[in-house]
Amino acid sequence: MAFMTGNVLRNLMGKYSTRLYPIEIRPAFEAYRGELYNEIEKCIFCQSCARKCPSQCISIDKEAGLWTCDPFACVYCGICVEACPVNCLHMKSTHRHVATEREMIEQKGTPPKPKKKAADGEAAAPAAEKKAKK
């Protein structure tokens, strides 16, 4: 026990080896993939993020305009961010806060209205004009 006394005193009187986490928060590394964020105003509800997600934590209801993510199932790989065609998904460079109960990220937006197809007569007229010009 006498051989440990010097080591114990050095540890008690010396500098901390670890950070005091809630008091001292380390800044995130460059290109850190943290909390998933969706700019719901830009989202077109195409479901490409949900199809590409390896952990299947994203679900989309196009009719209701509901985008849902389960952060406890997310592995923060960033594949959904790369798959988004309108770049509305982002990963913040901050850690997700500690949660005592399961919380889902739910965002409600307005899905874009489908484009109306031209009537058959209107679509046939420009095709006939192109043939006549040749």
Q: How many CB atoms lie within 10 A of CB 36?
A: 21
- At 22 the pLDDT is 75
Measuring CA to CA, how many Å separate 77 from each of 19, 31, 82? 27, 12, 10
Q: What pLDDT, on a 0 to 100 scale, did the predictor assign at position 31?
A: 84
Question: What is residue 120's predicted lDDT score, i.e. its pLDDT?
Answer: 54
Positions of the chain with pLDDT under 50: none
Fold of 44-109: Alpha-Beta Plaits (3.30.70)
pLDDT at residue 99, rounded to an integer: 82
Pairing mode, strands 89-91 and 58-61: unpaired
Q: Which two tokens stand for residue 4?
A: 């440990």
Output the pTM of the full model. Answer: 0.67
Query: What is the pLDDT, as a whole number, of residue 57?
Result: 95
E-strand ranges in 5-82 read 36-38, 58-61, 66-69
Confidence (pLDDT) at 129: 56
Looking at residue 121, its pLDDT comes to 52
Half-sphere exposure of 79 (CA within 13 A, CB side): 14
Residue 88 is predicted with a pLDDT of 95
